[in-house]
Amino acid sequence: MNIRYFAWVRERVGVEEETIDVPGNVKTVADLIAHLKSLDENHAAAFEEDEAIRVALDQMHVEQDAALGDAREAAFFPPMTGG
């Protein structure tokens, strides 16, 4: 799966995007976040406040309880504000 990071999530992880093999037990966005947190200290720091992170699967905004299904891309970004 292609994983993309934006804004401070990208800064903490240290890369803009990466491709990972998603383990079979990772079924939801929340599972994916938990898996990413376990990869290393940078990922753990990026997802420390995971409830604040917004997610898109294949460019569609979803909640963290959404199933990954056969999504090809997950994007993680901080909350957006309008003005």
Q: What is the DSSP letter of 19?
A: E
* pLDDT one-digit tens code per residue, 10-52: 999 999 999 999 999 999 999 999 999 999 999 999 999 888 8
Instruction: Find the Cα–Cα–Cα–Cα dihedral 58, 60, 66, 68, rounded to 10°.
Output: -10
The full set of domains in the chain, from first to last, is 2-77 (3.10.20.30)
Sequence-distant (≥ 6) Cβ neighbours of residue 43 within 8 angstroms: 13, 36, 37
> What pTM was estimated for this model as a whole?
0.93
Sequence-distant (≥ 6) Cβ neighbours of residue 33 within 8 angstroms: 47, 50, 53, 64, 76
* Dist CA 72 CA 5 (whole Å): 15
